[in-house]
Amino acid sequence: MTHILPEKGISKQEIFAQLKQKQQQDFDWRTGRIFCSVYLAGKEIEEIAKEAYSMFLTENPVDPTLFPSLRDMETEVVAMCSEVLQGGENAVGTLTTGGTESILLAVKTAKNRAKALNPTQTEFELIIPYSIHSAFFKACDYFEVTPIVIPLRPDFKADAKAAENAISKNTILIAASAPSYVFGIVDPIKEIGVIALNNNLLFHIDACIGGVVLGFNRLAGLENVPEFDFSVPGVTSISMDLHKYGYTAKGCSVLMHKDKTYRKHQYYACSEWTGYTLVNPTILSTKTGGPIAAAWAVMNFLGKEGYCDISRKTMNTTHRFIEGINAIDGLQVVGNPEVSLFSFTTTKGNPYDLFDELNEKRWFVQFQLSNEYCPANLHLTVSKIHETLVDEFLIDLKACHEKVQKKGLVKKATEKVTIETVKKLAQNLSSENFEKLGKMLGFSNGAVPDKLALINRIMDVLPPDTVRNTLIDYMNDFYTVNEKR
C-alpha cells in the first residue's frame, strides 16, 4: 500500500501549490457555464460569505450557551426566512446543513409526532408525488417509513385527489414540491392543504430550491406567483435552502415549522449517557458556525431590495432561455415552468448526445433519465450569473443540436448489441457481472468516461434496482486512492 500521510509535514507554500494543482481538474464554475450545484450572485457577495464564514469557522453551535453569537444569528436568519415565507409571529425554524437534512428532519418530526399521538402505532406512511425530491426516499429508508407515491396530472403537478385517496391510518405526512426539481412546477398546494387539514395530517412543502425565488418573486410584485407558503391553510412545515438562491455559503438550509408545537418533535435529547447534556435540533451535533454567519451576512447585505432585484432579473433570464430553446426546431421545454429551473427534451436526435456535445463546448447541464411522464431530458438551473450568457448558450445549443442530427451520433447497430449484452448481464446480479457491467459502462478504476451518451441510454433501459446497485458499486470504487484515475 502506498503511504499517503507524509513522514514530515509539508510547508504551507507547497500545500497550497498542490491544492491549486488539484483544483485545475475541477469545472470552472465562475464562468457561469454550469447550470447546477453552484449559485453565484457576484464577486462581492461571494467575498462577504467567505469572510463571514472564516470568522466563525471554528465556533461550534452544538452548545448555544458557549457561542450565543451563533444562536443570535440563527434566530435572526430564521426570522428573515419566516418573513419571506409569511410565517407570522408563531413560525419557528432551524438552520440545517442542507436541503436533504431539512427533509430528513421533516419526516423524523412527523414520525415522532405520530408516535406521541398514538404510542401503539408501528407502521408509518408518507404520501409523496412522483416528482418529489429523492431526499424523501432517503428519509424513508433512514427512518423506516413507507413511501406512498401518487401520480401526476397531465400538467406535471401532483394529483391532489390521489393524495386524498392514499390516506390510511398509518399516514403521518403529506409532502409536495414548490417546485419539483425536474419540471420547475409547483404542486397544487392549496388543494392538498385542505386535505391535510381535514385529516389532521402534517403537510410539508419542499421549497428547498424554489422557496427563495418564489418568496421574493411575490415580494417583487411579479405576476402569477403560485401560493406555496404558510399563508396557505394546512401547511405545517417548509424546507428552503439558503445556499442556493439565497446565495449564501454551502451548508445552509432552513426547516421552518408553523409553530413550536410541531418543532418540538424534531429535537433529540439524550439522558442515558454520562457525558455532557445533549440536546440536538439537527442530525449533526458538532459543526462549523461558518454557514450560519455567512447566511446572516449575505441576507443582511442584500436585503429585501437586493433579493427582489435578483429575482426579477433571474426570472427574465429564465424566460429568455425558455423562449430561445422552444424556438430551436427539435427542442422542447417540458411543461410550463414557474420558477428559474426547467428541463427540455429533443424531438429530433437524442438528449444524451446533445449533453456530450454541450460538454465539448464547456457547457455543463444535467441529464435526466426518462420516466413515465416524459422522455430523457436535460435540466437547467438558472441563476444570476447566467444573465449575460443567454445568447451565447443558445447559439452553441443550436449548433450542437444540428451537429447531433447531421453526424447521426446515435449509432444504432453497434449500440443495440451493447445494450442487449448489458441486459443479459443485468439478469444475473452477481459481483462478477457487476464488475463487467461497470467496465462496459466505462466506470472502471473509479474513472468517469469522457462520453456519456451510450452509458445514459443503457441506464435508461436497465431495471431500477440494477441502476441503483451499479451506481453504488461505482461510487464505492470511486472514493478510493487510485493513481490510474
Arithmetic mean of pLDDT, 202-208: 98
What confidence score (pLDDT) does residue 413 get? 44
Question: 38 or 411, which is more confident?
Answer: 38
Closest CA to 381 of 330, 328, 321: 321
Tell me how far apart the alpha carbons of residues 280 and 33 are, in angstroms, rounded to a whole number.
39
- Long-range contacts of 395-400, Cβ-Cβ distance < 8 Å, separation of 24 or more: 396/358, 396/361, 396/363, 397/324, 397/325, 397/328, 397/331, 397/354, 397/358, 397/363, 398/328, 400/354, 400/357, 400/358, 400/360, 400/361
Q: Say if residue 412's pLDDT is above 60.
A: no
Tens of pLDDT along 212-224?
A: 999 999 999 999 9
Contact 184, 342 (CB under 8 A): yes
In sign, the C-alpha dihedral spanning 223, 227, 230, 232 is positive
Radius of gyration of the chain (CA): 24
pLDDT band at 416 (very low <50, low <70, confident <90, very high): low
Q: Say if residue 303's pLDDT is above 60.
A: yes
Average pLDDT, the chain: 90
pLDDT band at 4 (very low <50, low <70, confident <90, very high): confident
End-to-end CA distance of the chain: 16
Interacting residues of 186 by C-beta distance below 8 A, sequence separation 6+: 157, 177, 178, 179, 180, 210, 214, 226, 228, 338, 339
Q: Say if residue 431's pLDDT is above 60.
A: no
Question: pTM above 0.85?
Answer: yes
DSSP string covering 265-334: GG-EEE-SSSSS-EEESSS-SS--SHHHHHHHHHHHHHHHHHHHHHHHHHHHHHHHHHHHHHTSTTEEE-
Which triple of cell numbers denotes residue 108?
423524523
Tell me how far apart the alpha carbons of residues 204 and 256 are, in angstroms, rounded to a whole number.
10
Interacting residues of 345 by C-beta distance below 8 A, sequence separation 6+: 331, 332, 334, 351, 374, 375, 376, 377, 378
Closest CA to 295 of 257, 244, 239, 246: 246
pLDDT band at 445 (very low <50, low <70, confident <90, very high): low
Tell me how far apart the alpha carbons of residues 50 and 271 are, in angstroms, rounded to a whole number.
37
Q: Say if residue 234's pLDDT is above 80.
A: yes
Tell me how far apart the alpha carbons of residues 332 and 330 are, in angstroms, rounded to a whole number.
7
Contact 341, 380 (CB under 8 A): yes
Tell me how far apart the alpha carbons of residues 39 and 60 are, in angstroms, rounded to a whole number.
26
DSSP string covering 430-484: -HHHHHHHHHHTT--TT---S--HHHHHHHHHS-HHHHHHHHHHHHHHHSS--TT
Pairing relationship of beta strands 125-129 and 92-96 according to DSSP bridges: unpaired
pLDDT band at 371 (very low <50, low <70, confident <90, very high): confident
Tell me the domains of the chain and their CATH numbers: 52-299 (3.40.640.10), 306-407 (3.90.1150.10), 412-478 (no CATH)
Arithmetic mean of pLDDT, 405-419: 59
pLDDT band at 64 (very low <50, low <70, confident <90, very high): confident
Tens of pLDDT along 248-302?
A: 999 999 999 999 999 999 999 998 888 888 889 999 999 999 999 999 999 999 9
β partners of residue 377: 368
pLDDT band at 414 (very low <50, low <70, confident <90, very high): very low
Q: What is the chain's percent helix, strand, coil content, to nearest 5?
A: 45, 15, 40
Contact 97, 291 (CB under 8 A): yes
Neighbour-count burial of 276, counting CB atoms closer than 10 A to its CB (0-12 exposed, 13-18 middle, 19+ buried): exposed
How many residues are recorded in the chain?
A: 485
Arithmetic mean of pLDDT, 81-94: 97
Cα 204 to the chain's mean position, in Å?
16
From 250-254, 416-420, 439-443, the region with the lowest mean pLDDT: 416-420
Backbone angles phi, psi at 206, to 5 degrees: -85, 95
Tell me how far apart the alpha carbons of residues 118 and 152 are, in angstroms, rounded to a whole number.
31
